């Protein structure tokens, strides 16, 4: 039992994409706020690194899973519940990104993006939300992207998936909020993580010049928004919202 005082003291939290970048930063921030976290990702060494960075590491768990595999998702959620008793907070943060112009995009490239960045959110929510409803409440935080709001050249698949996450979030919020499950999205702007390493230098230069803050964010600057949405009373009035730690890229 983690009895560290903090905004998330004692909360049982499942975080996907926790091996790297924003998901890893959210895991660290949650654990610092007293949460017990279950880390899920397909990257086993990355999961071990995140676990080692968490305070109170003995009570946290890691789960290697390909989130596009429906049976593996179900088995992982069952394993998390077996280890921690329940899931109070779910953060869907796993994702991929690549730059491909529409005219060159194969159906496989499109489908892979939709599977990882959108369908995985559906699969994990489908496995976790019924348990939250049965328990009388919970919090879901879906990591979308500001590109799902404004679009981006060469990123039709990514933008479609992330706009899908925002729409999914609003619909699920309307479905379950009255039963105590609050569902929100975070749509970060460009954040310096391994995800954007593959994008062209030209994209990075142009992108930075466009931002009102003039710089990319850090994963540690996104994590506090995920803490807010999971916390009581700070997150109590948010549902169906898309919060934008985005260096001013999109002004909603
Ligand atoms: N970095 C940015 O600029 C940025 C901006 C907006 C939104 N986002 C979103 O934030 C989330 C996290 O991105 P990040 O920048 O931390 O990237 P990252 O590459 O550092 O982390 C993504 C993680 O997702 C995991 N993952 C990918 N496919 C998976 C699968 N099929 N099964 C299990 N795990 C899988 C990876 O192993 C990795 O650990 C993503 O959803 C991304 O789209 C990132």
Tokens (6 digits) for 92: 């869907």
Q: Which residue CA neighbors atom 36 of ligand 1 most closely? A: 17
pLDDT at 185: 99
Which residue has better confidence, 204 or 84?
A: 84
Weakest-pLDDT range from 11-25, 134-148, 189-203: 189-203
Q: Tell me: pLDDT of 1 over 50.
A: no
Q: Tell me: pLDDT of 177 over 70.
A: yes
- Domains with residue ranges and CATH for the chain: 12-243 (3.40.50.720)
46 CB near ligand 1 (under 6 Å): yes
Mean pLDDT of 101-121: 98
What's the CA gap between 101 and 69, in Å, rounded? 27
Residue whose CB lies within 8 A of the most ligand 1 atoms, among 15, 19, 22, for a mutation test = 22
What's the CA gap between 158 and 151, in Å, rounded? 9
Q: Tell me: pLDDT of 21 over 90.
A: yes
Q: Tell me: pLDDT of 173 over 70.
A: yes
23 CB near ligand 1 (under 6 Å): yes
pLDDT at 201: 85
Strand partners, 138: 181
The label of the residue with tokens 């921030």 reads: 29
Q: Tell me: pLDDT of 108 over 60.
A: yes
What's the CA gap between 45 and 49, in Å, rounded? 6
* Burial class of residue 56, CB neighbours in 10 A (0-12, 13-18, 19+): middle
What share of the chain in percent tops pLDDT 70? 98
Mean pLDDT of 5-15: 95
Q: Tell me: pLDDT of 35 over 50.
A: yes
pLDDT at 242: 98
Structure letter (DSSP) for residue 218: -
What's the CA gap between 100 and 200, in Å, rounded? 11
Mean pLDDT of 2-23: 90
pLDDT at 5: 74
Is residue 60 within 8 Å of residue 39, measured between CB atoms? yes
Give the Å distance between the CA of 236 and the centre of ligand 1. 26
Residue whose CB lies within 8 A of the most ligand 1 atoms, among 43, 67, 95, for a mutation test = 95
What share of the chain in percent tops pLDDT 90? 92
Weakest-pLDDT range from 80-94, 152-166, 203-217: 203-217
30 catalytic residue (yes or no): no
Closest ligand 1 atom to Cα of 216: 3
Catalytic residue (choose from 158, 168, 216, 238): 158
Q: Tell me: pLDDT of 147 over 90.
A: yes
Give the Å distance between the CA of 178 and the centre of ligand 1. 30
pLDDT at 199: 77
């Amino acid at each position: 039992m983690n009895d560290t005082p903090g905004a998330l003291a004692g909360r049982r939290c499942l975080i996907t994409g926790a091996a790297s970048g924003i998901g890893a930063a959210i895991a660290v921030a949650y654990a610092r706020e007293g949460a017990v976290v279950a880390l899920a990702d397909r990257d086993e060494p990355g999961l071990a690194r995140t676990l080692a960075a968490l305070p109170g590491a003995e009570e946290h768990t890691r789960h290697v899973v390909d989130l596009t595999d429906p049976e593996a998702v179900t088995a992982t959620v069952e394993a998390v519940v077996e280890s921690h008793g329940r899931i109070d907070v779910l953060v869907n943060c796993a994702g991929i990104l690549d730059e491909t112009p529409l005219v060159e995009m194969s159906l496989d490239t499109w489908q892979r993006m939709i599977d990882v960045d959108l369908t995985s959110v559906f699969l994990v929510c489908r496995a976790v939300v019924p348990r939250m409803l049965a328990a009388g409440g919970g919090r879901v935080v879906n990591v979308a992207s500001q590109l799902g709001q404004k679009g981006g050249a060469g990123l039709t698949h990514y933008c479609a998936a992330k706009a899908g996450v925002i729409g999914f979030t609003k619909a699920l919020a309307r479905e379950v909020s009255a039963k105590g499950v609050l569902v929100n999205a975070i749509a970060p702007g460009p954040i310096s993580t391994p995800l954007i390493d593959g994008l062209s230098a030209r994209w990075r230069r142009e992108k930075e010049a466009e931002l009102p803050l003039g710089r990319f964010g850090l994963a540690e600057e996104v994590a506090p928004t995920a803490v807010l949405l999971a916390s009581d009373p700070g997150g109590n009035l948010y549902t169906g919202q898309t919060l934008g730690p985005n260096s001013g890229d999109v002004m909603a």
